[in-house]
A and B are shown apart, each in its own frame.
Chain A
Amino acid sequence: DTAVSQTPKYLVTQMGNDKSIKCEQNLGHDTMYWYKQDSKKFLKIMFSYNNKELIINETVPNRFSPKSPDKAHLNLHINSLELGDSAVYFCASSLEWGFNSPLHFGNGTRLTVT
């Protein structure tokens, strides 16, 4: 049983296209996140949702739009893809917002924009 699953694993696309990444967690957690890991391996928060409501929106271009249809799902839609968007995107979840509960990560989506 995969706790946090995201699809697709790999995404290769051309500049200007629109793409989506899907994430689902079966841990019963309240909070979900999108992180970006660049080529230097830094993990940076992009968005956080708690019970379907957006609570963190870091300085991310508005071409990136998250959507949480329910507590177990958090999708990421990216419009007008640019070369600089190439990275690995990780979905994560944690038990409760504001507490010390650790993050549980999916296995990432490697996005390559050509």
Chain B
Amino acid sequence: EDQVTQSPEALRLQEGESSSLNCSYTVSGLRGLFWYRQDPGKGPEFLFTLYSAGEEKEKERLKATLTKKESFLHITAPKPEDSATYLCAVLGNYGQNFVFGPGTRLSVLP
């Protein structure tokens, strides 16, 4: 069974203080790993898809990386508007649906 865990559960950063969020996964053949951002009262918003180990994607202050067992979302010099819950999901070769992790709730203080 495909599984996803995320750590930490919650993270508080000062503005400008860089950090990383972790997504660990177990899947029978990875078709894709997806990062989403979810703001309170909103649906998850797609950020990145990673397909194979060693791949990296960047968008503004966010950079996602992938290994065979985990993915990291690096946040460089975060701003208060980066505060949100970040969700990771995997799509395996043999599963039919996306499996989501519980998310990391990020708070960036001014």
- SS class of chain B's interface: helix, strand, loop or mixed? strand
Interchain Cβ contacts under 8 Å between A and B, 16 examples: A40-B102, A43-B44, A43-B87, A48-B97, A56-B96, A58-B97, A90-B44, A100-B31, A100-B32, A102-B46, A102-B49, A103-B34, A103-B98, A105-B44, A105-B45, A106-B43
| Complex interface: chain B residues within 8 A of A105 (CB) | 43-45
Please name 11 further chain A to chain B contacts, defined as beta carbons within 8 Å, in addition to the given A56-B96, A102-B46, sorted by A numbering.
Answer: A33-B97, A40-B102, A41-B103, A43-B44, A43-B89, A56-B97, A92-B43, A102-B49, A103-B44, A103-B46, A105-B44
Query: Which chain B residues in 28-50 approach chain A with CB under 8 Å?
Result: 31-32, 34, 36, 41-46, 49
Give me the interface of B with A, judged by CB distance under 8 Å: 31-32, 34, 36, 41-46, 49, 51, 85, 87, 89, 91, 96-98, 100, 102-103
Separation in Å of the A42 CB from the closest CB of chain B? 6
